[in-house]
Amino acid sequence: MRSVPSAPLVGPFADRLLALDFPALEPARREQAIAFAIRRVDGLPSVMNVGVVLIAMLFRIVLALPGNDAMLRFFARTPLPLLGEYVRLVRSLGYAYIFETWPDTRPDGSSPVGASAITTSASASPDPGTVE
């Protein structure tokens, strides 16, 4: 089974989640981070990709319901089994991209004055951290 394209499902959720976590992040930067997260989800091993897309469908439905802001806040803060792993995945990908690409980003997503054009060599990672 090939990867299932995830953009229509993951994109809107990542957008809302990152907007919630980083209210002062420039929209153009948020869009780049979302594109990165979608690319990584599309490249997941096939079994994981299918699982993530199924959960993403559920979240897409949640985002279409009335009162979705409150529900999004609940899911963003509550580490539920499986559903929480999806939130964690999207969040990790977004954070890694934002802080590697623009390392001086502040915790609210804003940039230091005059630093908006400064970028690194443009890469971070979900976690190559422990690399013996």
Applying CB under 8 A, which of residues 43, 54, 118, 119 lies at the interface with other proteins?
A: 43
Rounded distance between C-alpha atoms, residue 120 and residue 100, angstroms:
7
Nearer to other proteins, 67 or 130 (CB): 130
27 vs 70: CA distance, rounded Å: 22
The per-residue b/e assignment along 65-77, b for 16 or more CB within 10 angstroms, e otherwise, is eeeeeeebeebee
Nearest-angstrom CA–CA distance, 42 and 40: 5
Residue 99 binds other proteins, judged by CB under 8 A: yes
Quick one: which of 12, 16, 35, 91 contacts other proteins (CB under 8 A)? 91
Q: Is 103 in the site for other proteins (CB under 8 A)?
A: yes
Cα–Cα distance measured from residue 40 to residue 129, given in angstroms and rounded to the nearest whole number: 17
Q: Which is nearer to other proteins, 64 or 127 (CB)?
A: 127
61/73 with CB nearer other proteins: 73
Positions touching other proteins (CB under 8 A) are 1-2, 21, 36, 39-40, 43-48, 50, 77, 79, 85, 88-89, 91-93, 95-101, 103, 105-107, 120-132
